[in-house]
Chains A and B, each alone.
Chain A
């Protein structure tokens, strides 16, 4: 699998994402935010965590206007795979690739903690190595992870089985405990928790590794 990790000036989980993808067997290259085009032949674009443009204005809002994001939108429209984690999820909602928005945590504080995630669907390249209802331990680290969408959108996401993960014990006020959502074609996943921080034994947990394994494995098989 050929994967690209987008680097904004304030990305700080870009290396972590690249390491997790490489450990799963992907061929990874870094992509600078000022580039207007993606490298040829990418299967996956990953948008990592961090503070893309300092989280000024709104988390992900400035990044969504960057040259590379126009290319990412095109990639998604052509049916390419996109993974957005934490700030990456915020960027994906700001570009409109995924519905909804990430509001400030309901306790108004930054939260860094390992939380329980429940797998809500196994029907995606990202979650195919899990079973619905699996309980995972995955760290979160964000100030603005409170997922919000209007009632119709939430009903549609749930009706179309597009909620990928929910929180066991909702840490941030997200509507219907939603921690991650899929696009209509199930090839774009945005999630607040950090699977790349739970992908090696040294992290104290490897529950996130199956996501990278499943995703990369899909291309190895093809």
Chain B
């Protein structure tokens, strides 16, 4: 087949700038072949190369005694004691999900699960952070239905419990929804697998599903803005097969147990090209591939297509040759492809042959290591406009408005479409704070949360970034967990705009400071830029996924409120209403600054909760919606009314940070007050749980009436 000539148009359509093309000419000293151009495009796009973000990602804290493996591998790894570790990461699949919601979301889940089991860990928990446009935007309903069904369709079949997540709506996502998928797995610390190849002349083995033409150019598509040609990009979205993924996981874990694996890497973005180069580069070796040996789903596939296909459920492995028979038998057992498609070579060379014709011959280390890196110009986000007067509102009216909004209504409509209990180790299903699973066969529990308040980040990127980490810290603390580490999924607009880059830089600074202060190093992450349509960007959305450990099940705080419980508020309340949920949902205003995050107070108050968990029956963090929403949620979950003494708007709906709401018996409340004095932690009795009404100040409504609004609000808006 005649390959297209390398023209400026072809170069531009590969997302490569003229400068970047010149760089390619410098590196190889000749015009690239069509296949080589495709490989460069795949390796150098924003999605794979992090070329705009690398400079700033390097500033994040990634170390700690608990960290076994930080960013740079397929996922991060953290020690949880007893020779076990948790392997986790969060990754975006935003662009594909907007184009084709079911498959985009499904393959997002598939990709992150693969990242986890590639390292030798069996996935034990998943979460999803989803952001959609306004509920009555013509596209939103279809996106919500498709994305939720895609997430469920993949995860449910694969067999991983989905234990948490977020769903939000804001007009800024009308043209770009966000789908951030998190997965965590469990492994033994002495049985972790990495991607660095070693040994010369070792067979490179292709595992899993066959290669088709789906997803060719997907990573490049995901590194560009959208415009009205978006429908034409549907073929760049991959198609998921969770049944194959499940078999691939079982086969891969079984294969690892045979001792046949030298190194292994999943084929994700930019497929075979990226994974082969990465394995070679990390091991300081070259790689030779013979593409005619690649298992193919379609006829007459070209080298270009095979290198760039993003067909799902595939892995690349460097095999111990003496164990080939055992390895092959495992894949035959699971009816999956197993094909030797190349070998490691001593030269620094990425040599791609197809039917004895050289299709690409590139210096491997340079190809991998020479991706451009940009120090993009950025401007500091201007100080937020001061908060204009906020009228007092009847507290129950304010609460009703929040509960009716799909942003704050119960998300059961979503969570019930996810299997949250497969593996029979789920301790806490999604809906209220962190999700919790038991480490199978032990007394240890792992808690998972995903948090960010994009309005805050837009108003004040640094404070908003810190707040996302602080909220994750509080959600883990509220169930009695010690936060271990963090994964960050940075979703932003076009980094070539200095104000967008400024949001990114600010958020990174805030996240970094918070991760240091709260001892939650970043061990993995993902950056998704160019979330813009026709020049309009999303709210800056640095999603923080975090994992916490509860060493003994007895230390879990997961009770429900009972009649007679005292309501205690931990932390200082100033009544900060800037960028609050109340302001947005009731007054349709987004003004004022983000709430201030005092990291020392966060740490102190969190330590106080953990140290006194025996006295705490129920605990929740206060976040958007403030005291009124948190108290209602606890009341609703326990089916007991609540009385809050003070009905003033800033008191009820202020979003000051470092706060928790505790419910416990009177005796325990007294003991907690004493303990709080010793910890220098502010604490106040703000009401009690009793009866069947919600009473705030002088206003009240039956709990059942508010609960009905809360339970139906989401479905009414979206269903």
Q: Determine the chain B residues whose CB is within 8 A of the CB of A51 once the complex forms.
A: 156-157, 159, 242-243, 246
With beta carbons under 8 angstroms apart, the residue of A10, A16, A109 that contacts B423 is A16
Contact of B421 with A139 in the complex, beta carbons under 8 Å: yes
CA distance A197 to B429 in the complex (A): 12
Q: Does A15 contact B423, Cβ atoms closer than 8 Å?
A: yes
| A residues in contact with B553, CB < 8 Å | 202
- Stretch from B412-420, B447-455, B681-689 forming part of the interface with A: B412-420
B659 to chain A, nearest CB (A): 28
Contact call A56/B416, Cβ cutoff below 8 A: no
> Could you tell me if B243 and A56 are in contact, using CB atoms closer than 8 angstroms?
yes
Bound form: Cα–Cα A141–B158 in Å:
13
Q: Are A112 and B159 in contact (CB under 8 A)?
A: no
Most interface-central of A112, A197, A203 (chain B CB within 10 A): A112
How far in angstroms is the closest Cβ of chain A from B87? 19
Whether A16 touches B419, Cβ cut-off 8 Å, given contacts A51-B157, A110-B156, is no
Contact B421 A141 (CB under 8 A): yes
Give the number of residues in B that approach A within 8 Å (Cβ atoms).
32
B157, A10: Cβ atoms closer than 8 Å: yes
Q: Which of A13, A34, A113, A200 contacts B422 (CB 8 A)?
A: A13
Q: Report if B675 contacts A (CB, 8 A).
A: no
Q: Mark B115-134, 1 if CB is under 8 A from A, else 0.
A: 00000000000000000000
B243 touches A12 (CB 8 A): no
**Docked-complex contact A10 and B156, CB < 8 angstroms:** no
Cβ-closest chain A residue relative to B148: A109
**Residues of chain B with a CB closer than 8 A to A199's CB:** 424
> 1/0 per position for A24-51, CB-CB distance to B under 8 A?
0000000000100000000000000111
Contact status B243-A10, CB under 8 Å? yes
Question: Whose C-beta in chain B lies nearest to the C-beta of A113?
Answer: B416
- Does any Cβ of B come within 8 Å of A55's Cβ? yes
The reply on A54 being an interface residue by CB < 8 A is yes
Task: Judge whether B247 is part of the interface by a CB distance below 8 angstroms.
Answer: yes
- Quick one: which of B401-433 are within 8 Å of A by CB? 415-427
The distance from the CB of B343 to the nearest CB of chain A, in whole angstroms, is 30
Q: Which residue of B lies closest to A17 (CB)?
A: B424
Please indicate the chain A residues that have their CB under 8 angstroms from the CB of B157 in the complex.
Answer: 10, 12, 51, 54-55
Taking CB atoms, residues of chain B closer than 8 Å to A53 are 243
In the complex, which residues of chain A have a beta carbon less than 8 angstroms from the beta carbon of B156?
51, 110, 112, 141, 143
Known contacts A15-B423, A197-B424, A202-B427; A110/B152 CB under 8 A: yes
For residue B334, CB closer than 8 A to chain A, the reply is: yes
A213 contacts partner chain B, Cβ-Cβ < 8 Å? no
Chain B residues in 8 Å Cβ range of A49: 422
Q: Distance (Å) between the CB of B552 and the closest chain A CB?
A: 13
Is A177 interfacial (CB-CB < 8 Å)? no
Closest to B244 in A: A54
Q: A10-B157, A113-B416 are in contact. Are A16 and B422 (CB under 8 A)?
A: yes
Q: Which residue of chain A is the closest to B241 with respect to CB atoms?
A: A54
Q: For chain B residues 333-351, which have a beta carbon within 8 Å of chain A?
A: 333-335
A207 part of interface (Cβ distance < 8 Å):
no
Q: Which residue of A lies closest to B145 (CB)?
A: A109
Asked if B438 CB lies within 8 Å of chain A CBs, one says yes
Q: Quick check: is A76 within 8 A (CB to CB) of the other chain?
A: no
CB closest residue in chain A, given B428: A204
A15 to B149, CA, bound (A): 26
List B contacts of A203 (CB < 8 A): 421, 424, 426
Least CB separation from A108: chain B residue: B149
A139 to B420, CA, bound (A): 10
Q: Is A9 an interface residue, CB under 8 A from the partner?
A: yes
Q: Does A116 contact B (CB under 8 A)?
A: no
Residues of B within 8 Å of A56, CB to CB, are 243
Q: Are A54 and B243 in contact (CB under 8 A)?
A: yes
Q: Could you list 4 further interchain pairs (A-B, Cβ under 8 angstroms) beyond the known A12-B422, A54-B242?
A: A10-B243, A109-B149, A110-B149, A141-B419
Closest 5 CB pairs of A and B: A12-B159, A54-B243, A16-B424, A51-B157, A141-B419
